[in-house]
Amino acid sequence: MKFGGTSVASADRVKRVARLIKSHSKDNEIVVVASAIKGVTDDLIQISESVRKGSKTDVEKFIDRFKKLHMDMAKTSMTKEKTRKELRNVLNVVIKELEDVLNGMVLLGEVTPKSQDYLLSFGERLTTSILSYALKDIGISTESLTGKNTGIITDSNYGEAKPLMDTTKLRVSNKIIPMLRNGTVPVVTGFVGADQNGNLTTLGRGGSDYTATIIASCINADEVWLWTDVDGLMTADPRIVKNAKVLKEVSYAEAMEMALFGAKYMHPRALEPILDKGIPTRIRNTFKSENNGTQVLKNPKINTRQIVKSVSMIRNTALIDVRGGSMVGVPGIAAKIFDIMGKNNINIMMISQSPSESSISMVVSKNDLDSAVNSLELSLLGKVIKTINVTDNVAIIAAVGSGMRGIKGVASRIFGAIAKHDVNVMMIAQGSSELNLAFVVNDKDCEEAVRALHEEFELSKIE
């Protein structure tokens, strides 16, 4: 069971989570994975900015705030004085370490990817201790572990580390299975692992889901439950479409397409470790634990005959269009363009090329836009590329559903509905898996476009 950042965001919530774990632990062996308190990872990333600027007072203020947040929570989430005291001692040690790390970084005035990962690990380390003591407080035998102590070994690609599954499998099963046999509930930091030299690494934003599936795969778990603050994967973001519905069952492939966009953001590789074994995964709401949520399965049983199952969007993106007469019919141009983007660490979210070959369009996150345009200009402008056009403020809309495969007329329904709402389409891409049809619109039109498609495919009536 993995609990997201909102599920552990207050003392009451921690208590609720502890009771939830206790009630399920009667008939099950449970491994718990916890995220940092919502917003804490963002704060830690932000404070590394202050470190870069050498702003000592900002860092001091941050430490005070950080300490208070966790200490206050720790105080009110325990009922017994004994556990409260023990937890306080544990937290003091971890927070002291955080202070040392931050002070060291300020002295150096430097944030390396390695030190940043070390810093980011503190969010998860603190919630894991708090949650573990909350379990102790209500009589559950438990132990809190970092991803490193659990045995999650990764490569050294800080900030976006990947598990080395062979080693990890051996270590995690050796560590976790005896604990379960002993009746101990391991509470593990999400998001955090360590490389082969023992340096802490992180798995990328939203990486706690990934931690859960890595462990599940290592110990051959029966199921993975991702507890979050929404009811599951939905037909659309309910903040945009009022009558959006929870999907009861989706396939792994569909879930991976939806996870990137939807109300429940999931780490893009989160389902990878459990695909082979087909371990069923549930997305459930901590605050409405009576609901079943969404089940993610290899082969969903419910045949809804639904062509499109969900409509989602990614905002804060920009469209880059590169053109040049000498791009036509010359092999290797696309490779050059993408090579430069890759070398500069720019993630391309969508690509399309017209058959005339005179232009290639791609969508990147707005954060990457400057660096993308700069590197293209430096390396290719005036050579193979003649012009680079940028459209800021676009959004990707994606219609997802395995029922689209081989069905005629889906595209026509999609674009017909969009046209009826007077929204202009700037770029289109569909993979040949036909699982996902994505297009780009002006950001100001994106909510309208989502609602139009939700209505066209009658997703509010989905079973």
Q: Which is nearer to Mg ion, 256 or 333 (CB)?
A: 256
Q: Which is nearer to ligand ASP, 35 or 48 (CB)?
A: 35
Q: Which is nearer to ligand ASP, 47 or 376 (CB)?
A: 47
d(CA 451, CA 463): 19
Rounded to a whole number of angstroms, the minimum distance from the CB of residue 445 to ligand ASP is 29
Q: Which of 19, 114, 171, 205 binds ligand ASP (CB under 6 A)?
A: 205
Region for residue 5 given its phi and psi (left: phi exceeds 0; alpha: psi -120 to 50; beta: otherwise):
alpha
191 is a contact residue toward ligand ASP (CB under 6 A): yes
> With CB cut-offs between 5 and 8 Å by kind, which of ligand ASP, Mg ion, none does residue 190 bind?
ligand ASP
Rounded to a whole number of angstroms, the minimum distance from the CB of residue 337 to Mg ion is 33
Return the closest-CA partner of residue 384 out of 340, 347, 427, 348.
340
Q: Segment near ligand ASP (CB under 6 A), from 63-71, 79-87, 199-207, 280-288? A: 199-207
Q: Which is nearer to ligand ASP, 210 or 439 (CB)?
A: 210
Q: Which is nearer to ligand ASP, 5 or 151 (CB)?
A: 5
| Residue listed under structure tokens 């971890």 | 94
Mark residues 41-80: x for contact with ligand ASP by CB under 6 A, - for none.
Answer: x---------------------------------------
The amino acid sitting at 38 is K
Q: Which is nearer to ligand ASP, 123 or 151 (CB)?
A: 123
Residue nearest to Mg ion (CB): 5
Q: Which of 151, 186, 190, 300 binds ligand ASP (CB under 6 A)?
A: 190
25 is a contact residue toward ligand ASP (CB under 6 A): no
403 is a contact residue toward ligand ASP (CB under 6 A): no
228 is a contact residue toward ligand ASP (CB under 6 A): no
Token duo for residue 370: 């400057």
Q: Which is nearer to ligand ASP, 128 or 436 (CB)?
A: 128
122 is a contact residue toward ligand ASP (CB under 6 A): no
Q: Segment near ligand ASP (CB under 6 A), from 203-211, 248-256, 382-390, 398-406? A: 203-211
> With CB cut-offs between 5 and 8 Å by kind, which of ligand ASP, Mg ion, none does residue 36 bind?
ligand ASP
Rounded to a whole number of angstroms, the minimum distance from the CB of residue 433 to ligand ASP is 27
Q: Which is nearer to ligand ASP, 274 or 322 (CB)?
A: 274
Region for residue 154 given its phi and psi (left: phi exceeds 0; alpha: psi -120 to 50; beta: otherwise):
beta
Binding site for ligand ASP (CB under 6 A): 5, 35-36, 41, 123, 190-191, 205-208
